[in-house]
Amino acid sequence: MDFAFDDDQESFRKELRRFATTALAPHYQSDDRAGVMRPELPGQLAGMGLTGLRIPERFGGQGADAVTTGLAAEEISRADVNVCYLLLNSALIADILVANATEEQLARWLPPIASGETVPALCLTEPGAGSDAAHLTLRAEPDGDGWRLVGEKTSITLGMYADVAVVFARTGGAGARGISAFFVRLDAPGLSRTPLDDLGSRSIGRASLYFDGLRVGRDDLIGADGAGFVSVMRGFDYSRAIIGLMCLGIAAAALDDAFDYARTREAFGAPIGKNQGLAFPLVESATYLAGARHLCYEALWRKDQGLDHTVQANMAKWWAPKLGMEVVHQALLTFGHAAWSTDNPQGQRLRDVIGLQIGDGTAQIAKLVVARQLLGREFAP
């Protein structure tokens, strides 16, 4: 059993650490205060190969495996988790497209994502359909040789900045089998956007998108009519482990700062790390992070090996965000009054990681998936 990255992965990790430390971390707090995504970011990430990690080389990407993609997400999130949403969206959408689109469609859609020319979004959630996504109501109404999209999507990550999106719409009857997926240009007539005022991750442009007759053609349909829901659910198994590593990246950065502070801050004539009451919670945090990290990478390794990874990925999705929040909270408390100021990044880290307990499936949904796998569907909730 080998727990090490190979030489290429380790070299890539070190390169990413240098890039993230110098190009991303200095902007983490200022981007949050401004509430905007800097326009140069997609190009910067593309220059490091990060927007094309899961895109095949023949379409301008890196063709990276899942473990390498997780490694990249963890490193970027240590510096600025909000930038990592560009990586996450690109990887998830690339996996969906490669699994379902034609070669001609891939040749049109993937190179601009890999190059950072276009920013993609995933449009699934609606005001009345979040966890219950199989009952979404946005309609694709027949129109000649295509459709017109009518309805609303909400809580769309990068919704204010995305140029293209995979949009899930109802083309048939009720339930999952009536849902199709479309690749949509968001600069087309019939679309408006409204930004959401969020507690955390303020720079990612989470938004509601309103479709008022935006037209899509037959060649914008991804896969078969009515197969959209199945395709996205398969992709989520993979992305949930990536999200786990995003949370652990935030938590690792917070914990590193807490350990540094415990060495340098003195009280009662000694470094505060001398106190068991302060040191032991930090040690517990480091232990739990190590365990969750192994779980996330096991899920990604299993994907790379062509093995079922549903249980591991969904375990990672409910545990890592919860653990990330708890570790950041403990790190914040380590700083005492100093962390109550917004000059200290711990408060922002806490706000940002909480959002990942909601996005891409709640803990309850992840546990439901695992329960049905371990108990058997007939014995589970």
Closest CA to 39 of 121, 158, 161: 161
The amino acid present at 128, given as its one-letter code, is G
319-368 confidence digits (pLDDT tens): 999 999 999 999 999 999 999 999 999 999 999 999 999 988 899 999 99
pLDDT at 230 over 80: no
Closest CA to 219 of 187, 184, 176, 190: 184
User: Residue 214 — very low, low, confident or very high, per pLDDT cuts 50/70/90?
Assistant: very high
Across the chain, mean pLDDT equals: 95
Greatest CA separation for the chain: 79
> What pTM value is reported for the model?
0.96
Pairing of the two strands 207-217 and 179-185 = unpaired
CATH 3.40.50.2000 applies to domain 7-118: no
For the segment 173-195, the average pLDDT, to the nearest whole number, is 94
The amino acid present at 235, given as its one-letter code, is G
229-379 CATH choice from 3.90.1200.10, 1.20.140.10, 1.10.10.410, 3.90.1150.10 = 1.20.140.10
d(CA 349, CA 326): 11
Other beta carbons less than 10 A from residue 227's beta carbon: 17
Residue 126 has a pLDDT of: 95
The domain spans of the chain are 7-118, 121-226, 229-379
Residue 232 has a pLDDT of: 67
263-290 confidence digits (pLDDT tens): 999 999 999 999 999 999 999 999 999 9
* H-only helix segments in the chain: 7-19, 28-34, 41-47, 66-80, 84-100, 103-114, 228-264, 276-304, 310-334, 346-355, 363-375
17-69 confidence digits (pLDDT tens): 999 999 999 999 999 999 999 999 999 999 999 999 999 999 999 999 999 99
Q: Which residue has the tokens 């415990």?
A: 262
To the nearest whole percent, how much of the chain has pLDDT over 90? 91
Closest CA to 89 of 360, 374, 377, 363: 360
d(CA 68, CA 303): 12
For the segment 68-97, the average pLDDT, to the nearest whole number, is 97
Out of 9-18, 49-58, 231-240, least confident range = 231-240
Residue 312 has a pLDDT of: 97
User: Residue 381 — very low, low, confident or very high, per pLDDT cuts 50/70/90?
Assistant: very high
Given a contact cutoff of 8 angstroms between Cβ atoms, the answer to whether 167 and 122 are in contact is no
- CATH fold group of domain 121-226: Butyryl-CoA Dehydrogenase, subunit A; domain 2 (2.40.110)
d(CA 229, CA 169): 9
d(CA 27, CA 202): 13
102-150 confidence digits (pLDDT tens): 999 999 999 999 999 999 999 999 999 888 888 999 999 999 999 999 9
For the segment 308-313, the average pLDDT, to the nearest whole number, is 96
Structure tokens at 7: 């030489």
d(CA 360, CA 84): 14
Pairing of the two strands 164-170 and 120-123 = parallel
To the nearest whole percent, how much of the chain has pLDDT over 70? 99
Closest CA to 361 of 373, 349, 369: 369
Helix axes 228-264, 346-355, angle to 10 degrees: 160
For the segment 186-211, the average pLDDT, to the nearest whole number, is 97
